[in-house]
């Protein structure tokens, strides 16, 4: 039996395992980032933590969407919208974790990191993008928003690698942003030109997996060093 046929025959099982793996990684990142934020009170870490909370939620919705898509059109569209909204917000939070200093100038600006005035702009954009994709019956708006977000995040991360004295996590972050950008560009190409070909999607899944694993490795490494210093 060929590898491609084996994957197709076990697609549902692989999707569930993938969902559990990525969700577990995201929750570990959230937990460790939250502890590190409590030690340092660094707002960028706070927004970084939120990104992976939304990634965890997004992957759970993705699994539910796949499971119930054939049973109820209305239900599947709602779940698809929640998946898109969550994953778009995750990308926005990653970007904002790099640029928050340009928009927040006092403690009153960040009483909450999930629903403050500036973050509500991202919530509104994410909701509009998800609705537009449902109305148009595609994912192009989501792909475009995330390609733009990861492009800017990659540029800013590259600059941070050159400017920050402590470059350990900055390097992990920059490489991870490049992986994320590559995955979103490939997703767009697969949807546009390859008609969701399964083997190409598998390659994208591997790139996505590398993105999350690299972030996890960087978070574990930096929080371990931080805990030793504390």
Cβ neighbourhood burial of 17 (10 Å; 0-12, 13-18, 19+)? exposed
Q: What is the pLDDT of residue 1?
A: 47
Tokens coding 14: 């692989």
Mean pLDDT value across residues 203-210: 81
Q: In angstroms, what CA-CA distances link 2 with 13, 59, 185, 199, 203? A: 17, 28, 28, 12, 16
Predicted confidence (pLDDT) per residue in 155-195, tens digit = 998 888 776 555 666 777 888 899 999 999 988 888 887 66
Tell me the average pLDDT across 2-28.
Answer: 73
CA distances from 96 to 37, 90, 101 (A): 16, 10, 9
Whole-angstrom CA distances from 212 to 41, 166, 206 are 24, 22, 10
pLDDT in tens, 40-66: 878 888 999 999 999 999 988 877 665
pLDDT by residue (tens digit) across 54-98? 999 998 887 766 565 555 455 577 888 899 999 999 999 999 999
CATH of the domain at 220: 1.20.1070.10
Q: Within a domain: residue 4?
A: no
Higher pLDDT, 1 or 130: 130
Does residue 64 sit within a domain? yes
Q: Distance of alpha carbon 159 from its chain centroid, rounded?
A: 21
Compare 220 and 51 and report the one with higher pLDDT.
51
Task: Render 129-180 in DSSP notation, one character per residue.
Answer: HHHHHHHHTSSHHHHHHHHHHHHHHHHHHHHHHHH-S--HHHHHHHHHHHHH
In this predicted structure, which of 130-134, 162-166, 169-173, 201-205 has the lowest mean pLDDT? 162-166
Q: Is residue 3 part of a domain?
A: no
Q: Residue 188: inside a domain, yes or no?
A: yes
With H, G, I as helix, E, B as strand and everything else as coil, classify residue 42: coil
CA 60 vs CA 38, 56, 68, 149, 160: distances in Å: 27, 6, 13, 22, 32
In angstroms, the CA 126 to CA 82 distance is 10
Q: Which of 28-32, 42-46, 162-166, 216-220 has the lowest mean pLDDT?
A: 162-166
If you average pLDDT over every residue of the chain, what do you get?
81
Q: Flag whether 6 is in a domain.
A: no
Domain range for 116 is 11-102+110-229
pLDDT at position 114 is 83
Considering only CA atoms, which of 128, 27, 134, 24 is closest in space to residue 78? 134
Q: Above pLDDT 70, what percent of the chain?
A: 76
Q: Can you tell me which residue has the tokens 């931080």?
A: 226
Task: Count the domains in the chain.
Answer: 1
pTM over 0.95: no
> How large is the average pLDDT for residues 1-15?
57
Residue from 121, 143, 122 nearest 132 by CA: 143
The answer as to whether 5 is a domain residue is no
Inside any domain, residue 88:
yes
Specify if 200 maps to a domain: yes
Mean pLDDT of 108-113: 60
pLDDT of residue 225: 62
Q: What is the pLDDT of residue 230?
A: 42
Comparing 18-22, 101-105, 142-146, the range with the smallest average pLDDT is 101-105
């Amino acid at each position: 039996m060929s590898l491609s046929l084996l994957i197709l025959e076990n697609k549902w099982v692989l999707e569930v395992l993938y969902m559990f793996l990525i969700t577990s990684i995201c929750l570990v990142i959230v937990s460790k980032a939250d502890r590190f934020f409590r030690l340092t009170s660094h707002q960028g870490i706070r927004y970084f933590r939120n990104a992976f909370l939304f990634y965890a939620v997004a992957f759970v919705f993705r699994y539910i969407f796949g499971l119930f898509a054939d049973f109820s059109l209305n239900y599947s569209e709602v779940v698809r919208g929640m998946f898109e909204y969550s994953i778009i917000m995750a990308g926005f939070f990653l970007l904002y974790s790099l640029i928050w200093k340009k928009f927040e100038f006092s403690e009153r600006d960040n009483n909450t990191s999930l629903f403050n005035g500036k973050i509500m702009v991202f919530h509104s954009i994410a909701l509009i993008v998800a609705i537009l994709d449902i109305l148009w019956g595609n994912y192009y708006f989501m792909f475009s928003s995330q390609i733009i977000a990861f492009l800017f995040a990659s540029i800013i991360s590259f600059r941070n690698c050159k400017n920050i004295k402590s470059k350990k996590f900055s390097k992990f972050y920059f490489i991870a942003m490049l992986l994320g950008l590559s995955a979103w560009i490939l997703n767009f190409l697969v949807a546009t030109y390859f008609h969701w070909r399964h083997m190409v999607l598998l390659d994208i899944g591997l790139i996505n997996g590398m993105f999350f694993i690299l972030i996890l490795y960087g978070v574990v490494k930096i929080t371990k060093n931080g805990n030793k210093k504390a």
